[in-house]
Structure 1
Amino acid sequence: MRLLLRNATIIDGTGAEAEAGDVLLEDDHIAELGATTLAPDEVIDARGLVVTPGFIDVHSHSDFTLPGDPEARAKVMQGVTSEVVGNCGLGLFPSNETVERFYALLSPMLFGEPGGGCFRDIDAYRARLEERGVSVNVVPLVPHGNVRCQAMGLAERAARPDEIARMRDSVDTNMRQGAFGLSTGLVYAPGAFADTEEIVELAKVSAAHGGIYASHMRDEGSRLVQSVEETLRIGREAKIPVQISHHKAADRWNWGKVETTLAMVDRARAEGLDVHSDVYPYTAGSTVLSAMFLPLWAFEGSQDRLLERLRDPKVREQIVEGSKERMMKLATLPGVLDRIVPKRLILPFVLFELSRLVVVSSLKNQQQYEGMTLREIAKARKQKLYDMLLDLLVEEELAIAAIAHVMSEDDVQRVMAHDATMIGTDGFPQREGKPHPRAFGTYARVIEHYVRERRLFGIETAIHKMTGMVAKKLGLRDRGVLRAGAKADVVVLDAARVKDRATYASPKNHPEGIVHVFVNGVHTVKNGKHTGARGGRVLHRAG
């Protein structure tokens, strides 16, 4: 089957300037580009439209949703043809009974509903998705949190040599099954309990298979610089390409620090380290509410133990004190004031600010609170902030997701415009509540807001950050660029009409202006509507 996209404006994903020409798709690959000679079976007139490679979501959490949502409409409808999953050290594979128990409790925290179960390894996950079919290509990373939980549960301590050996074996097995690298979530249990040496040892296994190291670092706030230093150190010692996940500076007191951390990236690249960042085009992040406020020690053992602690009045007092200590670390004053002003004096202002900026996006039971700030919920319940927080976590069995408006627009633009930054959503389209709009609108927002309106960079650069740069980082040799012989992951869009329709108040809206999407040559979005096709694959790292 040959399909000709005629009279198109071609942006090939390399960053090169757009050119006029035709694109001929034959079965699952691109047969000809520019001037075509082969006779087509079908012709689409692409006059006035732009043809690009399919977008590769370099930072996705859709591994949690794809088993139950294989058509991946939130992503495909915005032009995504491949999703990198297993990010932030979390994912549905690999697993054993300990990991299964962990995610049986974690999935409701993420989704407010039971999850789809875990898979022993990537092969089992691949078999499940390909048995039912999937509308996007899936690019798996090995989540460190799962690997650690397999070996030692949620123990809050350094790993023993025998446990390191078991973790290395698990990473090796999943890399042999086609994983593209190792990811960490060093702010979440159990990954947060690992020391740097443990991560280096596991990253070496990924490096031996040609994989990358992607990290949600230990701190994106007051210790952002130190966290980037650790990430670069892991890259150097393991001799592995590095990806800094959702590079940002959280909380007003830390705005501007990305100038320092981006300079660190530049120096590391000049020294020969292959290091990139990814970013989503929003000034708000999203995670589970418990991870925002509770001290790490409260998560040790299991989620059941966490609930027990939250119900125990004496332990609750210790949790509140631990949380306040954590919040005080977020506050940094300029210059010498940071050393001489007691942080306890600043704490009320920190908590007041956070209560204004954190919005609950989904709950398991009390949906009337969705879309409300923590301050508004506390006022409605006539409770003090911490009493409300801990009571609500118990009532909802921890199943509360929240959106935090804690980033600077200047920082977002600075990171996005950096030469070594890729675009990703960091999103999963949860079925309940109001998810972060990034899961539905990221790519349209970049084109509409940052290319057309802000003129932060040209559309060729934007497409490169969404496609060719990502493919090269991952080692995807036959995707991410338009060239003869490459896989036919292709987007046809109206660059002047692309419009992001996903908002915080109403996030589950697909964008306008994405006209056609082909996944491995399969027409998956046709004239702006999902066809129901499932032409995706779970990809296997080459070599």
Structure 2
Amino acid sequence: MTYDLLIRSGTIVDGLGGEPYVGDVAVHDGVIAAVGAVDGDAAREIDATGLLVTPGFVDLHTHYDGQAIWSDRLTPSSAHGVTTAVMGNCGVGFAPCRKEDHEVLVDVMAGVEDIPGVVMTDGLPWTWESFPEYMDALDAGKRDIDVAVYLPHSPLRVYVMGQRGADRAPATAQDLAKMRALAKEAIEIGALGFASSRLAIHKTESGAQIPSYDAARGEIEEIARGVVDGGGGLLQFVPDIPAGGYQPVLQTVFDVAEEVGLPVTFTLVVANTGEPTWPDAITMVEKANSRATAGSVVTAQLLPRPIGLIIGLQLTANPFVLYPSYREIAHLPLAERVAEMRKPEVRARILADKPGDGHPILYVAQAWDWIFPLDDDPQYEPDPSTSIGARARARGVSPMEEAYDRLLDNEGQAMLLVATSNLENNSLDTVGQLLHREDVVLGLGDGGAHYGMICDASYSTFFLAHWARDRKSGQFTVAEAIRELTSVPARVAGLGDRGRIATGYKADLNIIDHAALRLHKPVITYDLPAGGRRLDQSAEGYIATLVSGQIIAENGVPTPARPGKLVRGRKPAPVSG
């Protein structure tokens, strides 16, 4: 037989955790046609001797809702082996939305996801109003990887209730009936499920709580029933973790899910300090799953490295961004600002100042013992002795002075990592223990959001390099790591046609030089609409990434291929697989 592509003599990692083995993978018409010792020819052959051949990665938590409209490349994710990205997380997005509510949703996304308003107003054509029309807009676009979408709660609420929804007024019986009907419609035309958030720091750019923040149990239940009416799907939820642990709101969602028979996936974090709250969450998950029917299983999503921010003089946040004395010069071009900051009198004035009002997330830029330099070899499990606090103590200066000086490194282009969570006991040990659990899955990379503060969409590369190669304790085998990046998230999302190397499965594949896998330092680019700024991050070690059998990147260089599609609805596993 003649195939479209034949990958020869690679170390096949099947995605299910099976022992890797050397063999061939043949691709025809976008699917895996043969695996093992394959006879035949192909339009192209790739020699993968000594390289891993894996399924494409599935990222459960992204925010490419806008970028998937204005761009044909979903980077950083597609540069890190991701071939399917799930959007609409945290209950925020751009549909459904009436024309008069465009500014409301822009305000939400600018505040919650750090996407500049001008990027959205210039980058989005707003050719849709309903959620089905937005799905059609996605379907019409060309992009490098596949996308799937949740129905987001905040746009739904505003669409049904108008300003009352934005103001978080209680929903009436009529409102609830409309939400249920629209949820049913969304599932029927291909939404993977429904997403919502109760996180207190999820605020609009104008400072208000997001529309979904304190939605009542009855509202969650009616929307969930709409999901059931439409054929079922996944409930994604962000609890208000800093405001008092995972009870009782998360329990309410678990109870609703159990009652209607739907699975749930939610955000889990491990606090750096204080009384741990994650054990309570795990206990809740265990109890929920012990009672679960076939349709209602709970999973916690956890990032395999610290959740945090990247700060610097060119980015959204730095330790002085709320200081009036710094704001006086913040508008200056970088070189001029650096020159000003190096003046002794300016330095003294800024260091003696006090912060003004601003978004709550900006205040974490002074968590001195959890702020670390981020250099050309970025460390995401950093040595505590390298923190700004520790460096300041060693120098005999204040942490503010040390931070000020480090921000001026590299002519003001220095970046610092603020590790806000996941470093319990100054290590990732707890994170590793949790990720070995079947009810905890990888997620929270946030690709497509937090453009000026976060670049965690590269977590797949970090996980495979750090946890399955470099780390000496709590390590994952390569087979285990690939399973966590492929078949596990595919299963959670309900996408049974991918995440595995077997005949009949979608030919989303990676060819990886595991020994050479390396993350580069994040860089600032200005490739968003209206010249908007974002953080991007690349890697070495990806020899090729394929989507539907087409190579979208080779040796870190993107190709012209744009085979990515909108995934409409859950997918069964191939019969032949």
Q: Tell me the TM-score normalised to structure 1 length.
A: 0.77
Q: Which amino acid aligns with 2:240?
A: R
Structure 1 pair 366–358 and aligned structure 2 pair: CA distance change class (3 A): closer
Match of 1:46 in 2: 48
Higher mean C-alpha deviation, range 263-272 or range 26-35: 263-272
1:82 deviates by 0.5
Q: 1:41 aligns to what SS in structure 2?
A: strand
Structure 1 pair 126–15 and aligned structure 2 pair: CA distance change class (3 A): same
Cα distance between partner residues in 1 of 2:318 and 2:521: 24
Q: Which residue of 148, 152, 160 corresponds with 2:157?
A: 148
* Structure 1: unaligned runs, 5 residues or longer: 289-353, 394-401
Q: 1:191 aligns to what SS in structure 2?
A: coil
Q: Is the 8 A contact 1:220 1:249 kept in 2?
A: no
Match of 1:159 in 2: 171
Higher mean C-alpha deviation, range 464-473 or range 115-124: 115-124
* Pair 1:278-2:306 in alignment: no
Q: Which residue of 272, 280, 283 corresponds with 1:263?
A: 283
Structure 1 pair 194–83 and aligned structure 2 pair: CA distance change class (3 A): same
Q: Which amino acid aligns with 1:93?
A: A
Match of 1:463 in 2: 482
1:381 deviates by 7.7
Q: 1:165 aligns to what SS in structure 2?
A: helix
Match of 1:317 in 2: none
Q: Is the 8 A contact 1:221 1:249 kept in 2?
A: no
Cα distance between partner residues in 2 of 1:377 and 1:184: 43
Structure 1 pair 431–70 and aligned structure 2 pair: CA distance change class (3 A): farther
1:388 deviates by 4.7
Matches within 5 A, 1:278-297: 278-285=301-308
1:229 deviates by 2.1
Match of 1:313 in 2: none
Match of 2:180 in 1: 168
Q: Is the 8 A contact 2:322 2:357 kept in 1?
A: no
Cα distance between partner residues in 2 of 1:220 and 1:392: 12
Structure 1 pair 132–64 and aligned structure 2 pair: CA distance change class (3 A): closer
Structure 1 pair 236–74 and aligned structure 2 pair: CA distance change class (3 A): same
Match of 2:532 in 1: none
Q: Which residue of 181, 185, 194 corresponds with 2:215?
A: 194
Cα distance between partner residues in 2 of 1:244 and 1:200: 16
Q: Is the 8 A contact 2:59 2:84 kept in 1?
A: yes
* Pair 1:499-2:514 in alignment: no
Superposed CA offset, 1:384-414 (max 9, x none):
33x2537999xxxxxxxx9662442344333
Match of 2:191 in 1: 179
1:27 deviates by 2.3
Q: Is the 8 A contact 1:25 1:32 kept in 2?
A: yes
Cα distance between partner residues in 2 of 1:517 and 1:161: 49
Match of 2:23 in 1: 21
Q: Is the 8 A contact 1:357 1:404 kept in 2?
A: no
Cα distance between partner residues in 1 of 2:494 and 2:270: 29
Cα distance between partner residues in 2 of 1:52 and 1:259: 33
Q: Is the 8 A contact 2:58 2:83 kept in 1?
A: yes
Q: Which amino acid aligns with 1:470?
A: P
Q: Which amino acid aligns with 1:156?
A: R
Cα distance between partner residues in 2 of 1:388 and 1:220: 20
Q: Which amino acid aligns with 2:540?
A: E
Superposed CA offset, 1:474-511 (max 9, x none):
22121111110111111111112211224599952301
Q: 1:141 aligns to what SS in structure 2?
A: strand
Match of 1:224 in 2: 246
Match of 2:358 in 1: 389
Match of 2:464 in 1: 447
Q: 1:496 aligns to what SS in structure 2?
A: helix
1:432 deviates by 5.9
Superposed CA offset, 1:277-300 (max 9, x none):
222223234599xxxxxxxxxxxx
Q: Which residue of 63, 66, 87 corresponds with 2:65?
A: 63
Q: Is the 8 A contact 2:184 2:228 kept in 1?
A: no
Q: Is the 8 A contact 1:494 1:513 kept in 2?
A: yes
Matches within 5 A, 1:376-415: 380=350, 383-385=353-355, 387-389=356-358, 405-408=420-423, 409-415=428-434
Cα distance between partner residues in 2 of 1:258 and 1:357: 32
Matches within 5 A, 1:90-169: 90-109=92-111, 110-114=114-118, 115=120, 116-117=123-124, 118=126, 119-152=128-161, 153-169=165-181
Q: Which amino acid aligns with 2:350?
A: A
Higher helix share: 1
Higher mean C-alpha deviation, range 256-265 or range 476-485: 256-265
Matches within 5 A, 1:358-373: none
Q: 1:84 aligns to what SS in structure 2?
A: strand
Superposition CA RMSD, Å? 3.4
* Structure 2: unaligned runs, 5 residues or longer: 203-209, 312-316, 324-328, 363-416, 526-534, 572-577
1:126 deviates by 3.5
Higher mean C-alpha deviation, range 96-105 or range 72-81: 96-105
